[in-house]
Amino acid sequence: MLEPKIIWETNDYLVLNKPAGWTVHGGAGISGPLLTDWLHKHYPSINDVGDNSLRPGIVHRLDKEASGLMVVAKTNTAWQYFKELFKSRQVGKTYWALVHGQIAKDEGVLNFPIKRASSGHRMVALPFIDQSLTEKKNLNNRDRGLVKAREKAKNALTKFNVLKRFINYTLVEVKIKTGRTHQIRVHFFAYGHPLLGDQLYTTKKTKVKNEKAKLERIFLIAKSLKFKDPAGDDKIFEIDLPADLESFLNGSAK
């Protein structure tokens, strides 16, 4: 299995490329390699960074099945700095994803509110209702349920541009303005174009296609990061597609 690769490092932070199959930090029901274990081995001083011993130095996350760029703080000062930077949405994050089907639009915005499902580890993207119907007594049972669900949902905004269309897939560049759990995956699922390889947000039809593709991961990569670092320097980091995703585009996707 591939290991994390350091892209950039200073005394305050490091930028690394997390491979697919690695979970960022431990928790209930978590199995497989942990990024935090790898950091503990190679950067033991990070163990005291942050406010949670289970995720030292971690300022943001990336799904286990996805790969790509992450920032890790090496000091508590840097940890606080980057936490505020991500919280105030001053970090530019760009992803590439391959989704099932052909998206007709060249670009679009997905802004379905997201909430946690009543059971399991799934998130749910909620459809919109007529906002003029403010009184629950004027709603039918379905919309009344949506109003109640939306009270617990969080706004989420995902922008995309089509990079290339294949016969059965569309390659998209994605930028998220919010950082909700599974945001890209649940938004494209709600949009009718689940991500290739996603076994959680999928339909019966795309699940069969995922099995035939044999990719063994989600086609989702955090491809670039842009931010002003603690020293005040503007930084832009970008990586190429990993070999398995590049190979799929050049072969099975066509």
Active site members: 63
3-state secondary structure the chain: CCCCEEEEECCCEEEEEECCCCECCCCCCCCCCEHHHHHHHHCHHHHHCCCCCCCCCECCCCCCCCEEEEEEECCHHHHHHHHHHHHCCCCEEEEEEEEECCCCCCEEEECCCEEECCCCCCEEECCCCCCCCCCHHHCCHHHHHHHHHHCCCECCCEEEEEEEECCCEEEEEEEECCCCCCHHHHHHHHCCCCECCCCCCCCHHHHHHHHHHCCCCCCEEEEEEEEECCCCCEEEEECCCCHHHHHHHHCCCC
Euclidean distance between CA atoms 225 and 94, whole angstroms: 7
Euclidean distance between CA atoms 254 and 250, whole angstroms: 7
